[in-house]
Structures are given as structure tokens and as C-alpha cells.
Homo-oligomer: A and B are copies of this chain.
Amino acid sequence: MTKSDQLPTQVTHVELVIEARWVVPADANNTLHEFYSVVIDHQLIVDVLPTDQARIKYAATEVLIADEHVLIPGLINAHTHAAMTLMRGIADDQPLMVWLNAHIWPAERAIVNERYVEDASLLACAEMLSGGTTCFNDMYFYPQATAMAANKTGIRAHIGLTVLEFPTNYAVDADDYLQKGFEAHDSWRGNPLISSALAPHAPYTISNSTFEKVLTYADQLGLGIHTHLHETRDEISQSEATYGVRPIQRVAELGLLGPGFIAAHGVHLLPHEIDMLAEYGCHIAHCPASNLKLGSGIAPVHALLKNNVNVCIGTDGAASNNRLDMFSEMRLAALLCKGASEDATALPAYQALKMATINAAKAMGLDHKIGSIEIGKQADLVAVKLSDFAISPCYDPVSHLVYSCGREHVTHTWVAGELRYSHGTFANIEPLELKEIIQIWQPKLRQYKH
């Protein structure tokens, strides 16, 4: 024995140690740790080490034994309209334009106000936290109300300052949307859990001059841009008819493409457009369930990945999914990529997990803070129990997370080191409150049902 082996180890006091059977950090090396501990103090991950070493090195106020669990970074939903939760399943199996014109838009015109958005977003935050999602990239009216709901539940949110041209209850024109967006942005300044992006809705709803303003503000404020892009064939042919070019070419010419640009959907992309996305360092928020359900098509994820485009995963809103469930979305993304490319090795499980975590953090410019289990990052963590008989046996916890598990196997969700959800119970949400929200709004919305 060397002398150092005999020295008494210095014990560090920390708030929380999670002793996990497995830890999947979603790091650059696709690491899988077994019998590992994650050490948390003052919101941060301060160590990741074998449990036997953690027991010597740390004394924790709380030790959580997760001996049948895999610990993963909190899932990040890269494209949401959280406040559409109350419209879940209101008009299924409808063609897109009927869905929008006859159901969703009339309902939004008549019903949506600040109170609605806060209530519906609260339900969304509850659904997301209980399913292991710790952060979402949102776009909707009344972003301040979404932030209120997020704050209440303790989830992290990257909230779009939504811009449209047409008048709604929320704003009268593009300048008004921008103005209201900046007021919202100012209101959550300094809040460690809320960040902003500029969210011009889509090329088919935004004029060139508004895109130019958005770009100017994005540069001035150092914010990213989140928009819908190439979701449907109609969108593309409309753009060709109106502007003479496909939407991506138009936004490229306007100067919007860059490493702060998140394109939701990207279903219909030509090879040179995929190259363009790669060259500019843009991000695709892939929404496979929504793209299938609305009949939009199947995004060329295999080609995007081959060309090193950063692809993350989103659920879209609950009106077109109808779950805000990153487990089913990861699974679908992996399966669909394999099936569409006829290559079983395409989009393996670890890559799917990274698309649902670190890739989304990169897209939002938050990868220095979240997206992986690494020392110095925020402790946004999820424990998933892998011992349920219906998902047994488990040979590989990473493949299990993607192909076998459901969100129902999530047992604990932490955001910034705080336990926000565990075994059916929320830290800050009363079940009765969610019931009341549904009782208030469902009768109002029912008339817009298919």
C-alpha cells in the first residue's frame, strides 16, 4: 500500500447524491456508466463517479438509491405549443387545412387569452415533467403566461417571442407582436429557468420586412430564431408561387440562417437544402408524430444526420400529436428513420437519446448549462425504472430507454437540482388544480370539436 491509500479521505458535504444502477450522460463519447453516482449541490452536477467512490468522498443531506433505474439528462422537447394541451384530440383524422380552418383557428380566435395560455401551459408542464421532460422550446400567444406556468411548476423553458402578421386577441400586427414579445422577454430577465428566442411563426405567415426586423432584433439581443419551415408541400408551392423560391431559399436570402436558427419540421428538403442547413449550422426540430398525423410526410432524418445537421426532437402541440411525450417521440424518431431509410443501423438508441437532450440544448444555445450529465452543468435529471416486468429483461439500458420504456417508467424528475415530480406527485402542482383547469376550459372548447 502506498501512503496516500492510508490517508483519511476528505469528505465533502453536498445536498444530494443519486446512486444509480446506470447513468447515461448523453456525452460526446456515448458513455454508459454502471453503479454510478451523480452528486448535486447548489443546483449543479458537481461530480459523476462510481458509487463506491462517491460513498467515501461525499456526505449528502439526501441520498437517493435508484438501484433499478437509469439516470439520464432531463429530456428537452424541441418544438411545442404548450398551451394547445387543452385542444388535445379536438379534431383528429382531419386534413390539415380543415383541421386549421374549421377547428384550431376558430377555437383560438374565440377562446385564447392570457388566462387560457397560463392554464393550458400548466397542464402541459405537468404532463411534460411527469414524462421526464425538463425543458421545452415553445411558441404561442401570450408567452408571458407560458412563463408563469413554467415558473409555477419549476420546469425550464425556452420561450418564443411569437410573431405573426394578422391580428389576434394577443396582438394587432407584427410590430405589436414584437413589442409584446420584448415586454415578456424583459419580464423574465434574470430568471435562471426561462430564456427566449424570437419566434416568427412561419414563412407563409411572415412578410420579408418582418423577417428583416426579427433578424435585426435577434442580432441586437443575441437571441436565436425559432420558426416552422418546410412542414408541408403546400407551404413550399405557395412560396414558389408568391416569392418564386422555396421557403428555405427565401429565409437564406433574408440572412436568417445560422447557428441560432431552429427550423421546426423540415419534412420536405432537397439534398442541396440539407447541405445549406449543414453549412449554416442550423438546427432541425424533428416532430415525427405530428408530421405523420397531419399527413405532412416523413422528414429525411437519415440524410440530415449523415450531413451532420444537428437534429433534435419535438412533440409539436397536443392538438397534433396528441401526447407531449418525449419517450414515444424518441422511439418513433428512431424507428421511422430506420424504416424510411431501410437501414436498421440508422439512428441508433444513443443517438435518439442525444437528439432528445444535448442536441436540443445546442439548438437553443444552452448546451453549456443543460443537455448532458457532466460536471458543472445544471442538475436537470430523470430517473427511469427499468425493472417493471412488462419491459424485462433489460440487456442494454440505452436501447431500453428508446425501444422498450414509456414515460410511465419515469419515477423522478429534477430541474436545477430540485425534485419537481416523483411517483405521481408534483412538488408544486395540485391534482385538483389540473382538474379544475379542464373543467373550466373543456366546455368552452367542445363546440370546436370535429
Contacts and interface: CB of A to CB of B under 8 A. Distances in A.
Interface of A: 86, 88-90, 92-96, 99, 123, 126-127, 130-131, 233, 289, 291-298, 321-323, 328, 331-332, 334-336, 338-346, 348-349, 389-396, 399-400, 403-404, 406-408, 431, 434-435, 438, 441-442, 445-446, 449-450
Contacts of A331: 328
B335 A292 contact: yes
B335 A289 contact: yes
A93 B349 contact: yes
B403 A339 contact: no
A400 B298 CA distance: 23
A394 B89 contact: yes
Contact of A323 (B297, B343, B404, B445): B404
B345 A396 contact: no
Given A126-B390, A322-B404, A396 B89 contact: yes
A332 B291 CA distance: 12
Given A123-B389, A400-B89, A99 B344 contact: yes
A342 B296 contact: yes
Contacts of A399: 89, 92-93, 322
Contacts of A393: 86, 88, 438, 441-442, 445
Tell me if A's interface is mostly helix, strand, loop or mixed: helix
Nearest to A446: B395
Contacts of A438: 389, 392-393
Oligomer: number of copies:
2
A406 B408 contact: yes
Contacts of A88: 391-395, 404
Contacts of A349: 92-93
A321 B392 contact: no
B298 A339 contact: yes
A338 B389 contact: no
Given A90-B395, A395-B89, A340 B298 contact: yes
Given A292-B339, A342-B295, A123 B392 contact: yes
Nearest to A293: B335
A450 B396 contact: yes
B131 A321 contact: no
A290 to B, nearest CB: 9
Contacts of A335: 289, 292-293, 332
B95 A126 contact: no
Nearest to A399: B92
A392 B434 contact: yes
Contact of A403 (B89, B291, B390, B394): B89
A434 B344 contact: no
A336 B292 contact: yes
Contacts of A343: 95, 295
A396 B344 contact: no
A403 B293 contact: yes
A93 B400 CA distance: 12
Contacts of A322: 399-400, 403-404
6 contacts: A88-B392, A88-B394, A89-B396, A93-B344, A332-B335, A392-B438
A431 B293 CA distance: 37
Contacts of A328: 328, 331, 406
